[in-house]
Amino acid sequence: MKAEQVNVTLSIDSVPRNQQSRPAKELPPEVIDTRKLSPSITEMSQEETSAENLLRPMLSITTTRTIKSGHKKRKMISYLQRLSSKPQIGNPNVMNNLRKLKRQTIALRNRNCSLKARLHKANEMLKNNPLHFFDNINPTVLNFCKSQLKFSKYKPRGRRYSMQDKLFALSLYKQSGRSYRFLSTFFSLPSRGTITRLLQMIPIRAGLNNEIIYENLTSEVRKLKKEHRICVLMFDEVFLDVNISYNRKLDAFVGFEDMGKQRSTQIADRVLVFMIQGIIKKFKQPIAYLFACGGVKSHTLAQLIKEIICRLDSCGLEVIGTVCDQATTNQSAINISRKLSPNYTENENTFSVNNRRIIALYDPPHLLKGIRKQLLNKNLV
């Protein structure tokens, strides 16, 4: 038997309980069971699909199907005629759900239209001037935002940071290591090892012959105002644990006495550090350090103080004083500097370098500690 393709239409509406629908005498097209068919639904959201499943018995659907047997065709027509004549009882819960789904569908369509309009507006703004909203952003912040967008698709070990990213991360890490670890959980920041390797690239050695520090210091001082260049020179000794280690990068053993220009075979147990601090503008910068065994001698310390002040003057800074504790070596070095000054007076605790008056100050906490010690030793309390 030849296969026959027919168009069928089913129209079933919900009717009240007290009304009956009679089968039509003539059905122009032949009818099939639409519950066995899957309607083609395209471009429909999940909510619209669920609504379609509830509306399926009450919709008029036109579809095609190939019927190969005349007996099956007559049987299908008879079944659908009985189905169309059977009354459908309305369910209030189903109707309420249907209305709710319709409202949700309308809301989703409106939201989709709103998002499309906003996207279209954003595209038009980018076409006209794509970088106009970056004009007033700080370059550092802009570079940080770009790096975060770039590294968001890479794993931590696959990220390659630029020098600007590393310097920005180093400034954050120097402010607070704990805060840096906290920010690393949210942003793509270099690890601590990366920052440490960056610091190791700077060739800093013991002594005063480190030209890199003074060259960079000179370039930064030029940006300061004249009154912001006023500073003081601070120095102090720190005790160290005796230890000798091999520095693979320098290809040298570290731990011996090192004055910069000369080294000895004695194991160092102290380090002398020099640092400058601003008076009007707040800044701090270590400029030199020395490893010594048993402390630096007074004459050597006096010579170092004079040499450092001369170098700072050549950088553009104005040193007006020195600050140290009341150690015997420090007091002796200050007295030697005073006696070598051309306008030496016994009552003034000052000395001169390059015809400039330098005021020698002692650290106030150590002054208070000395007063307490004298009060206790002399039984004045």
Average pLDDT for 166-178: 88
Task: Encode pLDDT of 305-324 as tens digits.
Answer: 999 999 999 888 999 999 99
Lowest mean pLDDT among 121-125, 159-163, 176-180: 121-125
> Who has greater pLDDT, 302 or 348?
302
Per-residue model confidence (pLDDT) at position 81:
62
CA atoms of 369 and 365, how far apart (whole Å): 6
Select the more confidently predicted residue: 296 or 14: 296
pLDDT of residue 14: 41
- Range with the lowest mean pLDDT among 46-50, 113-117, 358-362, 373-377? 46-50
Average pLDDT score, the chain: 76
pLDDT at 35: 43
Residue range 186-194: average pLDDT? 88
Position 116 scores a pLDDT of 76
Q: Would you state the pLDDT for residue 27?
A: 44
Q: Is the C-alpha dihedral spanning 215, 218, 222, 228 positive or negative?
A: positive
Higher-pLDDT residue of 73 and 253 is 253
What DSSP letter does each residue of 254-267 carry, written as one string? Answer: ESEEE-SS-EEEEE
Residue among 300, 291, 353, 368 nearest 322 (CA): 353
Q: Which has more confidence, 3 or 73?
A: 73
Residue 323's pLDDT is 93
Closest by alpha carbon to 59, among 11, 8, 100? Answer: 11
On the question of pLDDT at 364 being above 50, the answer is: yes
pLDDT band at 273 (very low <50, low <70, confident <90, very high): very high
Q: Which among 352, 327, 326 is positioned nearest to 338, based on CA atoms?
A: 352
Q: What is the model's pTM?
A: 0.57
Annotate 196-229 with DSSP letters as a single string. Answer: HHHHHTS---SBS--HHHHHHHHHHHTTS-TGGG
Look at residue 157 in the predicted model and tell me its pLDDT: 82
The pLDDT of residue 12 is 40
Say which range, 100-104, 134-138, 338-342, has the weakest mean pLDDT.
134-138
Q: What angle do CA 57, 62, 66 make, to 5 degrees?
A: 110
Q: Are 226 and 313 in contact (CB under 8 A)?
A: no
Report pLDDT digits (tens) over 33-47: 444 444 443 444 444
Q: Could you tell me whether strands 270-278 and 263-267 are parallel, antiparallel, or unpaired per DSSP bridges?
A: unpaired
